[in-house]
Structure formats: C-alpha cells, structure tokens
Chains A and B, each alone.
Chain A
C-alpha cells in the first residue's frame, strides 16, 4: 500500500513565526487530506487537496502530485495552532482507505 511520511516530526515555534510542514507519499494519489489534532484530541479536517493549492485564512496547502509531496503552510502562528498535524492519502483502487502519516507535533510558544 501507499506509504506516507511527514516531516519534521516535531517543531517548536514562537508565536508569529511561519512554518512549513511536508508530506511525502509513495504513489499517485486520488485523495490527500490534512488534519489538525488539537491538544484535547479532536481531529479537524483542514484541507482536501489531491492536487493544486488551497488557502484558508493563515493556512494554505499545496500538493504537487507529479512529485508526490504536499506542503502545509502556517503563517503568523498562534498558540491555538499547537497540536499534531496529519497528512493522509489513498491511491489507486483503494479509494476508501486513507493511510495516515505519523504526524508533525507543533508547539507554538507565546
């Protein structure tokens, strides 16, 4: 099955800083999503982005499907951005089976 790798595993920022999180995947994808898990455990969908670029406020994401990677950009980070960011993907005939990366733990300090 598809392999999904995220980097960096951990990231510590000061409030106001910008950051880029990376997701590499091993096969062509039909589905690529980014999620944020807040410190209380809630998983929130950020982007559905199998290709192209999307923006939502201070967050944006770009997937370059031909090169098998996706980037999540966080600008002017806030303490509420802290948590774990997951990338998940599927490929080929496994349209219903998302494979998750192990996540990036982001800590934003005041």
Chain B
C-alpha cells in the first residue's frame, strides 16, 4: 500500500465550472503523476511533478493545470470543465528516490462527469 488517496472519488459538475481534484500521499515520495483513463485510450499522462513547485506537462495537458505546494499533495485543476474532460482520473506516485524510472503505484481514481 503506497498510501495514496484521491478526493473526491466521484464528482458531477456542469460545463464551465472549475474543478479541483486532490491527490494525497503519506510516504513523502518525490514524484507524482496525474493520468486520465478513457475507453479505447488506456491511460494518458496529464501532468507530473518531480518535487514541490516542480511540475511538467504530459501528453494531454491542454485544459488542465496542477500545483504542488507541499510534498504530500498534488492538485489537478480544470479551470473551466468541458464535456470532453469527463473521465476517470488517476493519481500515481513513483517510489524511486532518484528519479521516475521506477515502479509507479496508483490511487483509487476519481470519476468525473461534466454535464
């Protein structure tokens, strides 16, 4: 158990509203990731973080922003949600102390529906 929680676990919102998803870890890992999972696409990386205030874009970052003000929390924000952002969002952490080239462990996921 890598001690990863996500909140909320389910959310329904309306187009145009801002949404923030939270990923929380208890074991002080440096690397954290946000993915989205959609039918037919597998998992796709949105953003990742390699330390406090250090973040970078992934494959599908448009429409998303992230923040990491402390080691244990990685926030994903949809500034103005659209129906195309309806998805299941997973947070992950990497256990490698010196880089992201090691095993990733996933949180339970957040199901987001944008109406």
Using CB atoms and an 8 Å cutoff, list the residues of chain A in contact with chain B: 1, 30-31, 33, 35, 41-45, 48, 86, 88, 90, 95-103
Contact = CB atoms under 8 A, between A and B. Distances in A.
24 contacts: A41-B88, A43-B43, A43-B90, A43-B106, A43-B109, A44-B106, A45-B103, A45-B106, A88-B43, A95-B100, A96-B48, A96-B50, A96-B56, A96-B94, A96-B100, A97-B45, A97-B100, A98-B104, A99-B59, A100-B35, A100-B42, A100-B43, A101-B42, A103-B42
B102 A31 contact: yes
A22 B84 CA distance: 31
Nearest to A40: B108
B32 to A, nearest CB: 10
Interface string B32-76: 010100001111110010100000101100000000000000000
Contact of A86 (B31, B43, B99): B43
Contacts of B42: 86, 100-103
A42 B100 contact: no
Given A43-B90, A43-B106, A97 B48 contact: yes
**Main SS of chain B's interface residues?**
strand
A95 B101 contact: yes
B40 A102 contact: yes
A33 B103 contact: yes
Given A41-B88, A100-B42, A102-B40, A95 B104 contact: no
Contacts of B105: 45
Nearest to A6: B42
A96 B31 contact: yes
A44 B106 CA distance: 7
A98 B45 contact: yes
Contacts of A41: 88, 108-109
A23 to B, nearest CB: 12
Contacts of B45: 97-99
Given A43-B109, A96-B100, 5 more contacts: A48-B102, A88-B43, A88-B104, A95-B101, A100-B35
Nearest to B109: A41
B104 A45 contact: yes
